[in-house]
Amino acid sequence: MSALLELVKETPPEDRKAVAEYLKPYLMVEEKEPIIEQWVGIEELRPYTPDKKAKAWIQLYILKAYPETRKWSTNPYPGKGRPIKVNLPAARKWIEEHISQIDWNKPMP
């Protein structure tokens, strides 16, 4: 890569523009759109689940069963008087990506 840079440095300015245009697609870094955080209760997540699952169902079969959900949720059993919070945009995206892996017909125990 450094040899290429040396060659480019030695070329006349008009040729540098042509080289830059040619290399542009290879040097561009795609910026991912950041997920905006919006922390809400489980009740706000229910409409985005198939059949609008109950809060207890989401807590048991999604938040507790999949440890990777900790990236966008708080502890599924936070204790008395403490609500469970989820980052709604991240949770919706995760559910859309894993919709086929979850058994949405599981009954509550």
**pLDDT per position as a tens digit, 65-100:** 999 999 999 988 888 889 999 999 999 999 999 999
Q: What is the mean pLDDT of residues 38-46?
A: 93
Q: 56 and 19 in one domain?
A: no
Same-domain check for residues 46 and 93: yes
Q: What is the rounded distance in angstroms from the CA atom of residue 25 to the CA atom of residue 21?
A: 8
- The whole-number pLDDT of residue 10 equals 85
Task: With a cut of 70, say whether residue 35 has pLDDT above it.
Answer: no
* Position 36, amino acid: I
In a domain, 104, yes or no: no
User: 69 with 20, same domain?
Assistant: no
Query: Does the pLDDT value for residue 28 go beyond 80?
Result: no
Number of domains in the chain: 2
- pLDDT of amino acid 1: 58
**Structural domain contains residue 103:** no
As a whole number of angstroms, the distance between CA 74 and CA 95 comes to 16
Alpha carbon distance 19, 21 (integer Å): 5
Q: What is the pTM of this model?
A: 0.65
User: What span, in angstroms and rounded, lies between the C-alpha atoms of 53 and 38?
Assistant: 20
- Answer yes or no: is pLDDT of 9 > 90: no
